[in-house]
Amino acid sequence: MLSPFRVLHPTTVAEASAELARLGDEAVVYAGGAELLLLMRNGLIKPDYLVNIKRIPELDGISVEDGEVRIGTAVTHRRMETDPVVRIRLPALTEAERHVGNIRVRNQGTLGGNLCFADPHADPGTALLVYDATVELWGPSGGRRLPLQQFLVGTYDTALEPGELLTEVRVPPLAEGWRAAFLRIERFYRPTANVAAAVSIKDGQLEGVRLAAGCVGPNAMRLLELEDQVRGSTITEAVALVRESKPYLTEKLEPVGDVLGSAPYKVHITSVLLTRALEQVVARARGTAHD
């Protein structure tokens, strides 16, 4: 049974942010509750107030503006999984969303909740990183915009300041000719390692490369140094480079051994998934496979 609390129902972002700033540690943001209510049930947190943001209309939409897909913080995983705009413009995100939790978690949990809870074992962030997603934050001193990578700062930790609310995720679709893929493996119904890759091909070489990996360490990471190494190579060379990248992945991802697998195992699986994702996107970019 959950400890008693009170619920506030702000109808604007400014009102929600003001309540969060006023109540400080006594209040938490409540959207889907998929993670929050579990923490409360297990006594890990005991908030006095839940600030329900689901009655703020502008936080619950998916739209395209200035070429970017804008996804409100309170949009559920299930809606992202089934939304045609997301499927056409951000297929790797659709693939990531398809595997979040289970159908009930996807019906309840939200994108903002997932990113703000910052569970290391999460899927959407990894996919969003290869799209160069940014997050819109609103707090007592106004709005600001951060690249997703700067928002994800560690295990269950984000760049959110007191009183600040994640309002929207903005995702620029990949340029013409790019293809993206998302792959993961799971144990005990939890994502154990996941990767996302996006490439463009020119004259048989990987002209553009973006790689990301998640679940292995404190938070999902873009693998910028490996991208630099791989860029300009053929797919065969790229696969060989990724196979040799385990020392780099170990340093970059800070892998944590846990019930889902040892640190070396997770790094190994990450490199395997990266090679598979690269092969998949290269095949798609060459038009030898359907998206």
Partner 1 sequence: MIDPERGTRTRETTYIAITVNGTRWQGDAPVEEVLLDLLRSRIGLTGTKRGCESEVCGACTVLVDGAPISSCNYLAFEADGKAVTTVEGLARGDELHPLQEGFIRNVAAQCGYCTPGQLMAAKALLEENPTPSYGDIAHWLTGNICRCGCYPAIASAILEVVDETKA
Phi, psi dihedrals of residue 241, rounded to the nearest 5°: -65, -40
Angle (CA) 150-199-146 rounded to 5° is 15
Shorter beta-carbon distance to partner 1: residue 108 or 149: 108
49, 8 in Cβ contact below 8 A?
yes
The CA angle 189-224-235, to the nearest 5 degrees, is 80
Burial (CB count within 10 angstroms: exposed 0-12, middle 13-18, buried 19+), residue 103: exposed
E runs forming strands in 5-67:
6-8, 27-30, 49-52, 62-65
Assess 45 for contact with partner 1 (CB under 8 A): no
Residue reference for tokens 């949990």: 109
- What is the smallest separation between the CB atom of 155 and partner 1, expressed in angstroms? 19
Separation CA 291–CA 279 (nearest Å): 13
Is residue 38 near partner 1 by the rule CB under 8 A? yes
What 8-state DSSP symbol labels residue 21? Answer: H
Chain positions 6 to 25 lying near partner 1, rule: CB under 8 A, are 6-7
CB of 211 to partner 1, least distance (A): 27
Does residue 41 touch partner 1 according to CB under 8 A?
yes
How many residues touch partner 1 under the rule CB under 8 A: the total is: 24
Cβ at position 76, least distance to partner 1 in Å? 9
Site string for partner 1, 66-85 (x = CB under 8 A): ------------x-------
102 is a contact residue toward partner 1 (CB under 8 A): yes
Q: How far is it, in rounded angstroms, from Cα 167 to Cα 73?
A: 5
Which is nearer to partner 1, 7 or 175 (by Cβ)? 7
CB of 75 to partner 1, least distance (A): 14
**Smallest gap from residue 142 Cβ to partner 1 (A):** 31
Show contacts with partner 1 in window 136-195 (CB under 8 A). Answer: 189
Residue with smaller CB distance to partner 1, 30 or 131: 30
Residue type present at position 95: E
CB of 104: closest distance to partner 1 in angstroms? 5
Give me 282's structure tokens. Answer: 């290269």
Residues that bind partner 1 (CB under 8 A): 1-7, 33-34, 37-38, 41, 46, 50, 78, 98, 101-105, 107-108, 189
